[in-house]
Every structure is written in C-alpha cells, then in structure tokens.
Amino acid sequence: MSLKSQDLFNVSNKVVVVTGGSRGIGEMITSGFLANKSKVYITARKEEALVKKAEELSQKYDCECIPVSGDISNTEGIDALVKFLNDAEPDGIDYLINNAGAAWGANYDDFPESGWDKVIDLNLKTPFFLTQKLTPLLEKKATSEDPSRVVNIASIDGLHVPLMETYSYTASKSGIIHLTKHLAKTLVSRNIIVNAIAPGPFDSHMLGKAVNFDYSFIAESVPRKRIGSPEDIAGLCIYLCSRAGAYTIGETITCDGGLAKLL
C-alpha cells in the first residue's frame, strides 16, 4: 500500500483511447494523460487535422500520441477502430475515454429527424458498441488489483434542462449517465470499472460555436466565475483511472464550477 500522490494518481505506461481526442475536452484529457506518460490513441473524422494535432501533442509532452481517423458514429467506423487497436495493441488497452460527441439545436416545432439521429448515434450508440467491442482488449490488462477503466463524457445538460433547444443532446447525455450505471454493473465482475463525468462549460468547438467563442457571460453565470480549465477535466479523468479512483464505480461526477447543484 502507498498513499503517496505519485502512486495514488500514477497513470504512466498505460494505453489510453480517447475518442474525439484532438480538440476541446478530448484534447484536454489527452494532454493530461500524455503529460503523465501514458500512450494515447486519439480519434476524429478529419484526418489531416488529427494527424497534425497528434504530432503536436507528441512533441509537446515527449510521449506517444497516435491518430486514428474515421467516423465512429456507425458500425463500420467502430469496427475499423477496433481492428486497428487489436492489431496495434494485442496485449490490451488500459483505459477507454468515450468523449466524441455532437450537438444539434433547433426550435421544437422544427426539430429534424436528422438532428436527432446524428446526435443520438454518436453520443449514445457509439459509446455502448465501442465499449462492447473493446471489452476483450480491456480485459487483457484488467486485474482485481488494477482494473481497466471506461470513462464516459456526459454533460450537466443530462442532469438539468438547459436554456438552448438541444433536445437530442439532452436526451443522449441523460441516456449515457444511466447507461454508465448499467455498464458498471455488467463489467465490474470482469475487472473493468465504468464511470462518467458531466462537464459544465469548457472551451470547446461545440460550445464556442453556440456563443461565438465569447465565454464571458457564461463565466459570470458559474458560481466559480470561470469556465473549466484543462487541469479540471484532465485531473478528474486521471483520478477515475488511477489507483485513487479504483473504488468509485458507476458514478457520474459533475465538473462544472457548481452550475448543476448551486443554481
């Protein structure tokens, strides 16, 4: 037993998969693992930008960041990613961070089916089937002393009703919160721990587009009077994946500066 911080939160030499890991919250999480000497595979649809980001992060943190481009909102893309990882890491992976997501906003009376399907597929269907198909790789590294981990990135919009008309987004994030509990129950006996994080406002392409990348009024609405930082989200994700978080199971932890509970 060691209660030293360098042991409690040690994630060095781990193999991590972060979907949507090239920007926003995904990039923050990826950077946190790389800074602590994990090998990280990141996914995104736009190959050129993904490869550039992986090279940038590898050089910045002197650790291996590997790009895997593709559309994981459908079965073909999920299967291609799983095959790549099986070939690249035959001995298994340690952590899966289901971060890739999409949003769609439209008036209730005009909300389109396409906006529903796109968001539900990527935000809810993909985490389930990717976790299902990567379970054998996660099991290879999993032990009772050092379980493998799955962290689903939800949202506080799955916990309360947001101001914007993003019906499929709130439904998907509420769904992933409950799915996290169900997966946790199923996989704990296989030495795989599943939890979720519900972020509030962070600097991201998704939120930035909605507010023209001016976060000042959002920051004022947060009890902490700021939006989230890389340290906030990466630190929490590392906690959940480290020895310190090995007895936390099926939880959704808010990371929102107090928005969900204090307002």
Lookup result for tokens 């998907």: 172
- Max Cα-Cα span within the chain: 58
DSSP code for 158: G
169 is catalytic: yes
CA 87 to chain centre: 23
What angle, rounded to 10 degrees, do the helices at 24-35 and 230-241 form? 60
Q: Which of 61, 169, 215, 239 is catalytic?
A: 169
Distance CA 143, CA 165 (A): 43
Instruction: State the alpha helices, DSSP H only, in 62-125.
Output: 75-88, 113-120
CA 51 to chain centre: 19
Distance CA 89, CA 108 (A): 45
Query: Taking Cα atoms as reference points, which of 96, 32, 30, 23 lies closest to residue 66?
Result: 30
Q: Which amino acid is residue 251, in one-letter code?
A: E
At 165 the three-state DSSP class reads: coil
> Which are the catalytic amino acids?
169
